[in-house]
Amino acid sequence: MKHLEGKVIIVTGGAAGIGGAMTTELTERGACVVAVDLNEDAGKEKAAANPGQIAFLKGDISKESVAKEAVALAISKFGKLTSLVNNAHASRQKPLLELTEEDWALSMDTGLKGTLNFMKAAYPELKKTKGAIVNFGSGAGLLGQENQASYAAAKEAIRGLSRVAANEWAKDGIRVNIVCPLAMTEGVKQWKQNFPEQYEEVIGKNPMGRFGDPQKDVAPIVAFLLSDDSQYMTGQTLMADGGDIKLR
């Protein structure tokens, strides 16, 4: 299955977790990936395992300079940029009234601002290649999950931004879609430990009765949105969540 051959994709948070799983899956489908992450050990290990298809950039995605550097690396190493996946996002889970200014800044800077930085930096190259962007939303935002105010707010802001970009950039041949995953990541494992009752409640209501596997369940949906198979889709939110939320 090499339907991503010729694609050059930036993946933020692409060294580990759900982003690392995407990097692996996308390269197995023929793509080249620039993985941007703060986790230097995991990033170097990923790139060393497949230097022909993976380049690693250590950087804080909330900084505009890092986004520009990632685009430059894609061009210098792989000759072009066709796709962008904005996956990285850091946040803290607390009741709404306990979230500090720093907590809000962390979520908005890495979530909304990071996504915006990379979209703006990638735009000129994606316009050349008629490229595709996949941004990450969350069921936490759609449901208004407790203890997730800063994260949910940033995720819904990302969805709003994505819909506007889908409308504005369609004339440039750039597609922008959103994926909301329910996947067993390190962050979810931590959340499960901290809020076991919430975790059991989510599992209990899920039609498939499980959290997805980042590589087997989520990455293929991202791969579809980056492939030419989805050429007539833009501005859409796709739920990769085992039927947890059914959008109307």
**Of 86, 18, 14, which Cα lies nearest the Cα of 54?**
14
pTM comes to 0.96
Displacement of CA 115 from its chain's centroid (Å): 9
Contact 225, 134 (CB under 8 A): yes
Task: Give the residue extent of every domain in the chain.
Answer: 8-185+213-239
Kindly list the catalytic residues: 151
Identify the CATH number of the domain defined by range 8-185+213-239: 3.40.50.720
**Tens digit of each residue's pLDDT, the chain (248 residues):** 578 999 999 999 999 999 999 999 999 999 999 999 999 999 999 999 999 999 999 999 999 999 999 999 999 999 999 999 999 999 999 999 999 999 999 999 999 999 999 999 999 999 999 999 999 999 999 999 999 999 999 999 999 999 999 999 999 999 999 999 999 987 788 888 988 998 898 899 999 999 999 999 999 999 999 999 999 999 999 999 999 999 98
3-state secondary structure of 214: helix
Q: Residue written as tokens 């620039």?
A: 34
